[in-house]
Amino acid sequence: MSPRRIPGLARPAAVSFTFEGEALAAPAGEPLATALACAGHAALRASPAAGTPRGAFCFMGSCQECLVLVDGVPRQACLVPVRAGMAVWRVAL
């Protein structure tokens, strides 16, 4: 089960972006890791050693488990605010 946003809270308008080519929408400024998790994408990369799925863990920039490519640049998804038009991809290891 994917995490859900708390209903009834005021949020900025949703903007569109893509993850692995899939069109998604999330409130502008929401942490990208949160937006991806709420869209059902908790696994953001694979462990280099075992190939097991890895995803956001600390949500504060410490663990590096949320590394993705944002418009071609490696970024920690928990530290990147969602903005319109961003193209997000998993990092190939």
| Amino acid at site 46 | A
Token look-up 């995490």 returns 3
The number of C-alpha atoms within 13 Å of 14 and in the hemisphere containing its C-beta is: 9
Nearer to ligand FES, 24 or 34 (CB): 34
With CB under 6 A as the contact rule, the residue among 3, 53, 58, 74 that binds ligand FES is 58
Nearer to ligand FES, 20 or 57 (CB): 57
Q: For residue 39, give both structure tokens.
A: 């869209």
Closest contact distance (angstroms) between CB of 10 and ligand FES is 25
Cβ neighbours of residue 42 under 8 Å, at least 6 residues apart? 2, 36, 53, 55, 56
Nearer to ligand FES, 8 or 68 (CB): 68
CB 2 within 8 A of CB 42: yes
Q: What is the per-residue binding string for ligand FES in 19-38, x denoting contact by CB under 6 A?
A: --------------x-----
**Could you list the residues that contact ligand FES (CB under 6 A)?**
33, 56-59, 61-66, 76, 78
